[in-house]
């Protein structure tokens, strides 16, 4: 797969990741933050205190991760296959991170862990579908 195709796929998937993150965690789950958060205080930044460049770069790298895996190693080029692979990658990544954080910090409740794993899996499926669809365009 060409590098340009992987870069374009990663860019589009990263933009989708940014906006999906804003919708899911910034809007939909924002009201549930009390039931998801552990006893740690002062952990989350307010909207005015966000470090936007880091948030944007992080989401772009998330898109590039899927594009690279799908384009270089897995040859995934359809939205359906990308969604399945994206969901599995998202499930494993979020479960490993959230359970580790739950076991070692007071940042999340167990309820929050499960909610975040479900949300991450769904978002990752969509990002995977977009990345694969972009890779398969023109084939």
Which residues make beta-bridge pairs with 108?
37
131 within 8 A of 20, measured Cβ to Cβ: no
**What was the pLDDT predicted at 38?**
73
Cα dihedral across residues 22, 58, 39, 94: positive or negative: positive
Token pair belonging to 79: 């939205």
Local structure of 108: helix, strand or coil = strand
Domain definitions of the chain by residue range = 3-29+50-136
Distance CA 19, CA 35 (A): 23
47-94: per-residue pLDDT in tens? 889 999 999 999 999 999 999 999 999 999 999 999 999 999 999 999
Helix (H, G, I), strand (E, B) or coil at 80: helix
Burial of 85 (0-12, 13-18, 19+ CB in 10 A): buried
User: Of 131, 1, 117, nearest to 61 (Cα)?
Assistant: 131
Whether residue 44 has pLDDT greater than 80: no
Report the share of the chain in percent with pLDDT over 90.
78
Q: Is the pLDDT of residue 34 over 70?
A: no
In angstroms and rounded to an integer, the radius of gyration of the C-alpha atoms of the chain is 16
């Amino acid at each position: 797969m060409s590098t340009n195709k992987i870069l374009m796929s990663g860019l589009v998937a990263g933009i989708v990741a940014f906006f999906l993150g804003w919708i899911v965690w910034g809007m939909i789950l924002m009201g549930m933050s009390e039931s998801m958060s552990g006893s740690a205080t002062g952990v989350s930044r307010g909207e005015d205190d966000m470090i936007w460049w880091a948030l944007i770069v992080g989401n772009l790298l998330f898109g590039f991760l899927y594009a690279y895996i799908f384009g270089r190693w897995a040859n995934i080029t359809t939205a359906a296959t990308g969604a399945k692979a994206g969901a599995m990658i998202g499930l494993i990544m979020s479960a490993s991170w959230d359970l580790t954080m739950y076991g070692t910090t007071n940042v999340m409740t167990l309820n929050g862990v499960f909610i975040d794993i479900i949300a991450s899996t769904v978002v990752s499926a969509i990002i995977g579908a977009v990345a694969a669809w972009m890779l398969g365009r023109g084939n």
